[in-house]
Amino acid sequence: MLGRVARLLGRRSGAGAHPAGPLTPDHVVWAYRLFLDREPENRDVVLEKLASNPNTAVLRGGFMGSPEFQRTNPALAYFSESTVVIKEVGDGLRLFVDLQDYLVAHPVVRGVYEPVETAFVRSRVAPGQTVVDVGANVGYFSVLLAHLVGPAGRVHAFEPLEGNVRLLTASLRENGFAGRVVVHRAAVGAAPGWGDVVVALSHTSAGTYLDAGRGGPPAGHAVQRVPVVSLDGADLPPPVRFVKVDAEGAELLVLHGARGLLRRDRPTLLCEINPPQLALVSGCRPAAFVAEVESYGYRCMALGDGAPHPDDGAPDRPDTRSVVFEPRP
């Protein structure tokens, strides 16, 4: 979820560049004063905000999406009740979204949702392929992938939250793609079993991330028990040509559970790198994540203007971004 906040309220939504430098306690204290008209409860809540928000854009979005802000500022609040609409997203494709989810639905409705990643997917996925969408959310990329692979291809979409799956399956039916997409209602990790995911209580974000068990969920969130699968154990028919992974910090765990698939099929990988979430869920820094994936015989490429190019040599920079892992010859 936090990675999606960073993307959609910052650079990737077209809202402007991320602010330079990390958050400070003063940022958090003044956010309480400006958005909630009060002082923070204690030092612990300030530290929690510092740990869970990579920049001021994310912090601002969190405060504006909070139940307290919406109660006291109804004229400025996002949709407070579920409002499902259908939006055409290009090529005649139609997607169901809930306007209560301002982090995904609102950029989709405005036509500004992840344009760089969308362009890359369009350039790489071809008819007849088998592809994977880890962290499908409401199905923006699953629907696009189903369109690109055509009736002879297959998409395997993994999403643990019931509400997201409901919108995803409705969109598949709307576009006539139900036969092209296998929906797995599960989180993806290193091994099969059960896990806890952290979800927002306010329903202003339909995102989630695996709970690493380090101090419990942040304020305004709850833990939900969900099945966890590994890609190696998901019985994916070969060859898998493309894998998109947006697992909100669990990317390393996902690829730990896909080593067999990566050796067997050598698919192209499109992965999010969200430094705070990667540290929280996978317990590693971006440089360690990149190095491990490269040890599988891949090369990390930065993604700009829809086309990958050599990385800039700063894998531990603090911003949230997408990278492409291409198999080495």
Distance CA 29, CA 39 (A): 7
Please tell me the distance from the alpha carbon of residue 184 to that of residue 79, in angstroms, as a whole number: 29
Chain mean position to CA 155 = 18
Would you give per-residue pLDDT tens digits along the chain (329 residues)?
444 434 433 433 333 334 445 789 999 999 999 999 999 999 888 988 887 777 888 788 788 878 788 888 877 766 667 889 999 999 999 999 998 887 888 899 999 999 999 999 999 999 999 999 999 999 999 999 999 999 999 999 999 999 999 999 999 999 999 999 999 999 999 999 999 888 776 555 555 566 555 556 666 677 889 999 999 999 899 999 999 999 988 999 999 999 999 999 999 999 999 888 898 889 999 999 999 999 999 999 988 766 777 765 566 777 788 999 999 98
Tokens 């993806």: give the residue: 188
Q: What angle do CA 97, 156, 112 make, to 5 degrees?
A: 35
DSSP E strands, 214-327: 221-229, 240-245, 268-273, 298-304, 307-310, 321-327
- The 10s digit of each residue's pLDDT in 85-136 is 999 999 999 999 998 887 888 899 999 999 999 999 999 999 999 999 999 9
Are 155 and 142 spatial neighbours (Cβ–Cβ below 8 Å)? yes
Domains of the chain: 2-72 (no CATH), 113-327 (3.40.50.150)
What angle in degrees, to the nearest 10, is found between the helix axes of 56-64 and 25-36? 30
- The pLDDT value recorded for residue 223 is 84
